[in-house]
Every structure is written in structure tokens, then in C-alpha cells.
Amino acid sequence: MGDSSSGLNALWSRGHAPVPPGSLVAFRVLFGLLGSFGAARFLAYGWVDRFFAQPTHFFHYQGFEWVEPLSPMGMKAVFWVLVALGLMIAVGLFYRVAIVLFFLLFTYVELIDVTNYLNHYYLVSLLALWMSFMPLSSRASLDQRFRLPFRDGTLRRWMIVALRLQVAVVYVHAGLAKLTGDWLLHGQPMGIWMAARTDTPWIGSLVGEPWVALAMSWAGFLYDTTIPVWLSWRRTRVPAFLVLLTFHGFTHLLFTIGLFPLIMTCAATIFFDPSWPSRLVRGLPREPAEATRPPMRGWRAGLAAVGVAFALFQVVFPLRAHLYGGNVLWHEQGMRWSWRVLCREKAGSVTYRVRWAGRSRDALVYPSRYLTAHQEREMAGQPDLILQLAHHIADELRAEGRQDVEVRVDAIASLNGRAPVPLVDPEVDLATIRDSIAPASWITPEPSGPPLPLHPSDPPLRPTHR
């Protein structure tokens, strides 16, 4: 018991050791600027209207069915507030209020419609949540200049460890998700995406070669699974960061994946020595401030236990897809929040067959009646969203006075270039199925056999890193 207690005390003492503020300050500035830029980008490109005003139906996450969008003007106001909050975070003005509000508003926007889910949106929410418990404006900020009070403004080692762990979890799970035959043996879906990029200047004639897709697949697998190690080791940190810049620059050139490369590049700076910005910016202290280590008792110990549990949850939660068996890229159960970045190319089509009391023939209902083109494209490969829309159709018909409504679906999908096959059992009445975390027997088994080679006449497909 004594050895255990002394070990915990040593771990507590090490975790609460003060660190130079440079890297945490730089991370705060970069995070705030990217958050502000991302929100401004939505406003500038008209995406607020496209994703939150034009749709008439929204897909909900389980447990968050109550989340609804505001009016078009209200949603634009939310994004303008996010722009301002990002800038406040960057300059460290009323930082605690700004980072908490940013986390809440950004997460609210994420929860409005499942078809807008992207891995890097989820990462931004998680990083903002961690940062809400860190006094990152206690140095090099307007809060410090205006001498706003800090309960404890010391920047401590656990803060760097937590952020590093969160970024490492993304990379490692993204790499492990690529440990499949499609990715490592057949170079798919990389081959599909490369075939659509043969018009790229300078390298177009090269990227269409099959061996290039296979080589890039292996490079992506090795990069994701090992880059946190190389960034953590002092001797390899600089060359690893150069590789990181090259890798994300190349993916940004070839693929339309938004701010993901910028976010991961900025996040990687947290792996550098905590004092690195002081070598570039005068006035930043190179040494940590003198501070005492708080005792390991009371609310501090409880909060630390919650933080450790949350960190462990982030490590384990993405593995839940393995509990379902089969191919998660097909049935999608456990797909979200598991960092399966750029792992699959999936396309499909959906037509609902509806019948009710007194009608002897099926009525065909097309998703375009309810969805935008973006929503329909995303929904077509995700069985739980197909089920959600089926329930919406049934509820609409019942509201019109129809009785004994039955909703079946002809949903076919292609995974990584395979021939399209049914994704959902066409004989199951989806109006009787309730979505849950249990394995879904109404989803058909994944297609067997290797992916088919891409035919030259096939239309180009865009990669998705959902």
C-alpha cells in the first residue's frame, strides 16, 4: 500500500511540474486562429446556408435528437461568434470564457446533422474541451497584460501530455484502421482517388500508376502508426516534422479534405520542446515559472482521476467497432469517432418502397424529396441514416392518416471499387426497426472478394475522411 501511494505521489508530482509556457502558448494561438479561420471560411463560401438553411430534414445522433438548427440568421450569428471567439482564444482575451463557449458552440454545430460529420471537427471539440481546463492565457496574452486574476496560472506538464496523447490517439487509430487487405494488398481506395487525379500538373502521369497507389497506401499506414513516436523522440523530431509537412502538403494537393492537414500540422507542434517558441519570439520565458505542486487530495485528486479516465476512454473507445465483427467500413457500426481517416470509398443509391393499409402496390419514395444532394450522398452509404429517413417517411405518412405503414428499401452500395450489392435487407420493414448500439441484423453481410480494378470510364470519386 505504501509503495502504491508513493508511486502515485511521484506521478502526481511529475505531472504537476511547471513547464516553460512557449509550446502551450503557441498551441493556443494556432488553435484560435484556425478556429476563427474555419468559421470565417464557412461564412465566406456560403456553407452556413448550404448545410444549415437549405436542408429541410436533419439526421440526428442518438441521444441528441433534441438538437436543432437556429434560423438562417441565427446560424450565421453562431459562426460570427465562433470567428470572434477564435480570435479571443488566440490573443488570450477572457480566455476561459472564450474557450468554453467555443467548445459548446462548435460542438452544437457538429451535432445538428450527422451528414456533416468529419473526423477533424470531432478533434477540434476534444482539443477545446481539454483546453477548457488549462490556464493557457496566463502567459503572452491580453489577460496577462490586463492583469486579470488567475486562480492558478501555472502551466504544468500534464497539459502537454494530455494534448500529445489526444493527437497521438488520432494518428495511431487512423493507422491501425488501414491494417486491411484493401489498403495494404490492393492499394484501395487510394487507387480510385489517384485515378481521379491524373490531370494534376507535374505529377498527373505518375499518380495513375497502380504501384503508386500501393506505395502511398503503405506510406500512409506507416506514417500514421509511427509519426507520434518520431515526433516524441528528440533526435528524430525535426526530420519527422519535415516528413509531416510533406505528407500533409501532398494530401492537401491531391485530396479535398478541408482544414484537416492544417489542424494536424499545428497540433504536431505540441510534441516539440516546451521552450521552442522562446527561440523565435523575444519576451517569452525559457524557464518555467516558480510554482509549488498542489497536494494530491480533495477535488484536485478527483478531477485528476476524471482526466485520466477520459484519456483512457479516448484510447479504448475507437476500438469498439471490433465488438461488432464483420467489416466496419461496410456496416458502419462503430465507424464514427474511431479515427478511420481516408479508409474507404463508398458510393450507393437508395429508393424506399412504402405500403400502407388499403394499398396493394408499393409506392416509391426517393430521398431527394427530403434531402440535399450532399445529404443524400452521405446517407446512401450509412445504414443508420437510411433507417432514420425510413422512420421519418413512416411518421409523415402516419401524420397524414395512413395506417399500418411499412417502409422497405432498395439500397445498394459499392465499397472500395467492388460491384454494388445490397447494403440493407430489402425484405425488412424498417418502420419496425429501432436503431441501437446492438449489432444490426438488418444490414447485409459485407461483399466478399477483393475490390475490382477501376474501369477507365468510371466517374471520378472524391475521397472522404469521415
Residue with cell 517569452: 284
Are 119 and 268 found together in one domain? no
What is the DSSP-derived secondary structure letter of residue 451?
A: P
- If residue 392 lies in a helix (H) or strand (E), which one and from where to where? helix 383-399
**In angstroms, rounded to a whole number, what is the distance separating the alpha carbons of residues 139 and 122?**
27
Are 150 and 47 found together in one domain? yes
**Confidence grade of residue 458 (pLDDT, cut at 50, 70, 90):** very low
**Can you read off the three cell numbers belonging to residue 65?**
435528437
Mean pLDDT rounded to a whole number for the chain: 90
Are 182 and 240 found together in one domain? yes
Residue with cell 508511486: 7
Residue with cell 518555467: 288
- Residue 455: pLDDT above 50? no
What is the DSSP-derived secondary structure letter of residue 300?
A: H
**In angstroms, rounded to a whole number, what is the distance separating the alpha carbons of residues 296 and 371?**
53
Single out the residue in 154, 183, 202 at which a domain terminates. 154
Are 29 and 125 found together in one domain? yes
Are 52 and 80 found together in one domain? yes
Alpha helices (H) in 177-236, listed in sequence order: 181-184, 190-195, 204-207, 210-232
Is position 106 within any domain? yes
Number of residues that this document lists for the chain: 466
Q: How far apart are the first and last CA of the chain?
A: 46
Question: Model confidence over 387-430: pLDDT tens digits?
Answer: 999 999 999 999 999 999 999 999 999 999 899 999 999 999 99
Are 164 and 270 found together in one domain? yes
Are 261 and 139 found together in one domain? no
On whether the CB atoms of residues 248 and 265 are closer than 8 A, the answer is yes
Are 425 and 318 found together in one domain? no
Structure confidence at residue 82 (pLDDT): 98
Are 191 and 312 found together in one domain? yes
**Confidence grade of residue 462 (pLDDT, cut at 50, 70, 90):** very low
Nearest to 138 by CA among 150, 127, 156: 150
Is position 185 within any domain? yes
Question: Model confidence over 137-175: pLDDT tens digits?
Answer: 988 899 888 876 666 678 899 999 999 999 999 999 999
Full residue range of the structural domain in which residue 203 is found: 156-278+298-329
Is position 378 within any domain? yes
Single out the residue in 106, 124, 154 at which a domain terminates. 154
The DSSP-derived string for 12-44 is HHHHT-B--SHHHHHHHHHHHHHHHHHHHHHHH
Residues sharing a CB contact under 8 Å with residue 327, sequence separation 6 or more, in sequence order: 415, 446
Structure confidence at residue 461 (pLDDT): 47
Are 169 and 315 found together in one domain? yes
Is position 227 within any domain? yes
Q: List C-alpha distances in Å: 369 to 114, 358, 366, 389.
A: 18, 24, 6, 11
Higher pLDDT, 423 or 204: 423
**In angstroms, rounded to a whole number, what is the distance separating the alpha carbons of residues 85 and 121?**
16
- Residue 284: pLDDT above 70? no
Is position 7 within any domain? no
Number of domains into which the chain is organized: 3
- Residue 457: pLDDT above 50? no
Residues sharing a CB contact under 8 Å with residue 43, sequence separation 6 or more, in sequence order: 76, 79, 80, 83
**Can you read off the three cell numbers belonging to residue 72?**
438562417
What share of the chain in percent tops pLDDT 90?
A: 69
**In angstroms, rounded to a whole number, what is the distance separating the alpha carbons of residues 9 and 420?**
58
Nearest to 413 by CA among 336, 300, 330, 303: 330
Peptide linkage before 189 cis (omega within 30 of 0)? yes
- Angle, alpha carbons 313-317-319 (nearest 5°): 135
Structure confidence at residue 279 (pLDDT): 78
**In angstroms, rounded to a whole number, what is the distance separating the alpha carbons of residues 113 and 96?**
28
Single out the residue in 154, 184, 206 at which a domain terminates. 154
Are 144 and 33 found together in one domain? yes
Is position 351 within any domain? yes
Is position 144 within any domain? yes
Are 120 and 207 found together in one domain? no
Is position 2 within any domain? no
7-16, 96-105, 268-277: which is most confident: 96-105
Mean pLDDT of 333-352: 93
**Confidence grade of residue 283 (pLDDT, cut at 50, 70, 90):** low
**In angstroms, rounded to a whole number, what is the distance separating the alpha carbons of residues 202 and 207?**
10
Nearest to 301 by CA among 15, 3, 104: 15
